[in-house]
Amino acid sequence: MKAGVKSQRGESERLFRDAQRYIAGGVNSPVRAFRAVGGTPLFIQRAQGSHLWDADGNEYIDYVASWGPLILGHAHPGIVKALQEAAEQGTSYGAPHAREIELAAIIVEAVPSVELVRLVNSGTEAVMSAIRLARGYTKRAKVVKFEGCYHGHADGLLVKAGSGATTFGQPDSLGVPDDYARNTLLAPFNNLEAVLALVKAYPQQIACIIVEPIAGNMGVIPPLAGFLEGLRKVCDREGICLIFDEVITGFRVGWSGAQGLYGVLPDLTCLGKIIGGGLPVGAFGGKREIMAELAPVGGVYQAGTLAGNPLAMTAGIETLKVLKEKGVYKRLEEKASYLCTEAEKIARLTRTPTFFVRVGSLFCTFFTPGPVIDYATAKQSDTEAFRRYFWSLLSEGIYIAPSQFEAGFLSLAHSDADIEKTLTALPAAFEAASSVTT
């Protein structure tokens, strides 16, 4: 069935019913459940390039890209071939091997702040380990994070804002004790004054400030001018570790990630997504003197049986080899710029209240006039308008993330025809959205 042909989704509905019998909530990650948009989630049968096919045979142009890592598209032939060859040599060793070194060397070469790296199995694990390392290095306990920035599901980071920037965080999930979250302090994203207030309120107590240099989990929100530079200055002055969570932005917005784009270097960097080429992987790295605190050399313990898995290393190496080729990021920039510029024109023509954000091949359409600079302004988005927009696009074979507060991802596999097909579907989608906002 060709993309854009409307059809029934009975098989996906049946599979979702079955899944709820055996899997908690019927999904293995909450956003997949489509709760933010209603209806039944797609169950995917296969994927190739920039397209997905669901269990009912419907074909979709995919702008989710497994939530970012598939920058080369699905089932890239070079990666598939390399994985087939690697699997024949064994799927897991639990011991050192050469491909770990090869991937680590590429990361150190590409990411300007990283002198040593430790490979792990997920972005959550990378962040959790980096924070433990920062605490061990500084001998301090408290962590500053920003409202709306997601850093995985480790207990101490699942907190929401209290009544003001200097209050302690309160758990944002059942099962997280108040005492555990109390060492997490919150500030609004892009608000340097709030950070300075926290530093003043808790002198010599803050181990690290962790931030997505480009927020990607409350929609896409870039840093305001001077924000990252200000964080770097306060960390230098106060002996605080600055951690960039580049799980989404690393190798996505450029070869050197957001830190290369903005010229601000953190003490520690967390990576994931693209460095596994679609397989489970994560990494954290930074200054040699800080990384030297990790066991087996130092006293900060971190371990993982599957860390450096040979299949994940292989997929990551093959992905990064392609991304290093001349002109790759220029092509991504051109594709994404054209798509988002034309989409913005269509939104204006349909008089749909929207605010568009794009950094490289990372983008988001907020259903609010904007501007969107932090979690509070992102939350002003009309989620009912987004719901109608989502289903209108899906009915035309365009698959975007089923939440207003997620990013969109363009890949090298998206063709001119894919983009034109998407633009053709947008007028009706914006009309559907604006019917509830005007």
Q: Where are the domains of the chain?
A: 10-75+327-434, 77-323
pLDDT tens-digit series, residues 372-386: 999 999 999 999 999
pLDDT at 436: 57
pLDDT above 70 covers a percentage of the chain that reads: 94
Give the sheet arrangement for strand 408-409, strand by strand.
355-359, 362-366, 408-409
Residue 437 has pLDDT above 70, yes or no: no
Kindly tell me the burial class for residue 168, based on how many C-beta atoms sit within 10 Å of its own C-beta (0-12, 13-18, 19 or more).
Answer: middle
pLDDT in tens, 68-119: 999 999 999 999 999 999 999 999 999 999 999 999 999 999 999 999 999 9
- Establish whether 56 is a catalytic residue: no
Distance CA 432, CA 391 (A): 9
Q: b/e string for 89-125 if b means 16 or more Cβ within 10 A?
A: eeeeeeeeeebbeebbebbeebbbbbebbbbbbbbbb
Residue 345 has, within 13 A of its CA and on its CB side, a CA count of: 8
Indicate the pTM of the whole model: 0.94
Contact 298/292 with Cβ under 8 angstroms? yes
Task: Label residue 336 exposed, middle or buried (CB < 10 Å: 0-12, 13-18, 19+).
Answer: buried
Q: Closest Cα to residue 405, out of 376, 425, 438?
A: 376
Contact status, residue 358 vs residue 432, Cβ threshold 8 Å: no
The question of whether 416 is a catalytic residue gets the answer no
Provide the angle, in degrees to the nearest 10, between the axes of the packed helices 227-238 and 192-201. 20
Please say whether the beta carbons of 116 and 289 come within 8 A: no
Taking only the tens place, the pLDDT of each residue in 136-181 is: 999 999 999 999 999 988 777 766 432 232 334 455 677 777 777 7
Query: At the topology level of CATH, where does 10-75+327-434 sit?
Result: Aspartate Aminotransferase, domain 1 (3.90.1150)
Q: Which of 62, 245, 374, 418 is catalytic?
A: 245
The closest alpha carbon to 141, from 196, 208, 239, 237, belongs to 208
Per-residue pLDDT tens over the stretch 181-217:
789 999 999 999 999 999 999 999 999 999 999 999 9
C-alpha 143 chain-centroid distance: 20
Active site residue 180: no
CATH class of domain segment(s) 77-323: alpha beta
